[in-house]
A and B are shown apart, each in its own frame.
Chain A
């Protein structure tokens, strides 16, 4: 299917916080209680619609263990959005957010939109991190924030889509240089054909492959 834009996302956060489960819920609408361990990186893709435009999300789901940081760092390059995930039932995953954020800010482009996600909101009885703490952290660091549950699918769509909306707005405001692929955005064939004004007259650029 043709798309107007392609956004690269990266999902980061401590191991076991539910990164792969969030992705699976978003792309396949299902939940796997015992998910395989992610080693290195895995991928997902889905088409969404924003403002009547088809946007393809290309999602990089990374390994969370500290040892793999040096590998993960190379995957920030060219990401337009990042989902930074912690587990509301494990305080240490919240405590590590600062180092994750430092990493993300240092190795990505400065316009990358970061969504902070407190996952496992279905496990209210085991909660160790208050929602207000997540909100405060997000406010302090200029992130968008949401609590999600990959298990019940609560807020999962919203988390991925709101991030895309924010990126889309930045494009509209001209913050992102969409002709520089290092920003994690590619113009799709659909866009180049139908709306060349936004492509700044250089819309001949084609993304690799126009199907989902």
Chain B
């Protein structure tokens, strides 16, 4: 990789920094002892090519003719020139990457400063200002994310730290009493037994929450915290209990705030109408949400909408996972957090807008797929969803349909259940 000659470095001054930055990063160190310079000089002659060129043939073979020697020399020089060109290109690319990174870090740093010093102290007056909304759209810096989310989610439920501690203590009590209840409820199959069993289920699911991060699994640093938050919630809302998908929401919150704050944000977040509808698995209300989504789907992407219809691909197939986990399972975590940022700003509407953004982003590929491929694609999105690409697609989604906004469409459908198809047809 590092095949610069001294002269090469000198002729490309800015690239030196890049090279050194990389070396420092790799722990090579940047002390430039004379000896190292010599080595660098030697290294510049690309080893792979010098090894191929035999200046003189071994003594037991006839010597090269002049033409042949010249030809070899020329070929060799071409190879070196090409190698140089490639090095130059790579150096430029690295310099560009480095500059972009610096720029990004600078803008995040500046944004964090703005959030900390200007916006957060004046939250209630500034939160709906044009400037803050614009800054918000670009993503909240990770260092202030937890605070912004907390302020945006609020605490309408007035949950105190004491209440959290009470719920937590109750959950721990139940957990230690679990072995006996498990036996007595094994055969009843009643819904009560299932709620009791939900404490068992939490254990099972924690290890299946962001398994690749390795921080929530048994022995990981956040295993107990996640267990506490979910367990306390089942005691706080026994009527809702633990429902799969919750562990992802709690996990994302844990990554951005402390345990008690997580619990408060978690309970308040789940208390929002859309989340309540889904987590209580109120099927008819969920279908109303899907129907409202389809109104905007048809409005924004009529061709794709028709293609989905003709393949009997209903929105429940992909929306259930997306809405339950607020995109934290289907999207890369950093991108999911950006979605959460704007979800905290705009509310449930943004979840459906994001879905339409995703469909627009992949419209071309989806148009050429049949049922099973669409279903597989949308329930397992590509590993690298481009962040800026997705957000520019979301930005173009129009959330007004025949001069009706999302809430109006949803309310109209709620009042007129006739228009919501009772059972999705597959």
| Interface positions of A (Cβ within 8 A of B) | 15-16, 34-37, 39-45, 58, 63, 65-68, 70-71, 74-75, 77-78, 91-92, 95-96, 99, 208-209, 211
Knowing A71-B316, A74-B424 are in contact, say whether A99-B205 is a contact too (CB < 8 A): no
Residue of A with least CB distance to B210: A36
A126 to chain B, nearest CB (A): 15
18 examples of A-B residue contacts, CB within 8 angstroms: A15-B205, A36-B208, A36-B329, A37-B244, A40-B317, A40-B320, A40-B379, A45-B376, A65-B243, A65-B244, A66-B194, A68-B244, A68-B281, A70-B281, A92-B182, A95-B186, A99-B189, A208-B371
- On whether the beta carbons of A35 and B208 are closer than 8 Å, the reply is yes
- On whether the beta carbons of B380 and A91 are closer than 8 Å, the reply is no
- On whether the beta carbons of A39 and B372 are closer than 8 Å, the reply is no
Interchain Cβ contacts within 8 Å, total number: 99
- On whether the beta carbons of B426 and A43 are closer than 8 Å, the reply is no
- 8 Å CB contacts to A: which residues of B177-211? 182, 186-187, 189, 191, 194, 197, 201, 204-205, 207-209, 211
Knowing A39-B244, A92-B186, A99-B189 are in contact, say whether A45-B320 is a contact too (CB < 8 A): no
Most buried by A among B247, B248, B371: B371
Residues of chain A contacted by B376 (CB below 8 angstroms): 42-45
B305 to chain A, nearest CB (A): 16
- On whether the beta carbons of B426 and A34 are closer than 8 Å, the reply is no
Knowing A70-B283, A99-B189 are in contact, say whether A208-B201 is a contact too (CB < 8 A): no
- On whether the beta carbons of A37 and B247 are closer than 8 Å, the reply is yes
- On whether the beta carbons of B209 and A37 are closer than 8 Å, the reply is yes
- On whether the beta carbons of A45 and B372 are closer than 8 Å, the reply is yes
A202 to chain B, nearest CB (A): 20
Contact of A37 (CB < 8 Å), options: B205, B217, B311, B370: B205
CA distance A67 to B243 in the complex (A): 7
A-B contact sample (12 more), CB < 8 A, given A70-B281, A77-B426: A42-B379, A43-B376, A63-B244, A65-B244, A67-B281, A71-B320, A74-B423, A77-B425, A92-B186, A95-B186, A208-B310, A209-B372
